[in-house]
Amino acid sequence: MAEESYLHRTVDNIGDWILVKYIVGSKGKKIKHFVGIIKDKTDTNLLLSKFVKLKKELKNSSIFVYPVIEDIDKNVLVDNISCRLPLPKEGKGGELIFMVTFSQFNLK
């Protein structure tokens, strides 16, 4: 998982990478997490975020790619941000490599 310093977010800035929690399902009991980047602040408690898709999880890192069809949410609630993430390294073919693992999350 992410280093302790990234788990406790303070201020969310444009360009920050975040882990966002969504509660889904007809009874609202299923939790899914998504990795995204803050692109804009639309309101005091709302953010516009662009999400990436998990390609592969390794022992000490996770590789993400941008999906073919953009995945954008214009109404990410600040309260749904689980944590800020360290900046990813750029890999080949547009891959984004985060030096953290997400195995304990239902990541999409």
Q: What is the pLDDT of residue 3?
A: 47
pLDDT tens string 51-65: 999 999 999 999 999
Tokens of 84: 């800020």
At residue 27 the predicted structure's pLDDT band, cuts being 50, 70 and 90, is: confident
CB of 47 closer than 8 Å to CB of 40: yes
Quickly count: other Cβ atoms within 10 Å of residue 98's Cβ: 22
Question: Which of 105, 89, 88 lies closest to 33, judged by CA?
Answer: 105
pLDDT tens string 56-101: 999 999 999 999 999 999 999 999 999 899 999 999 989 999 999 8
Question: Which of 14, 55, 21, 57 lies closest to 37, judged by CA?
Answer: 14
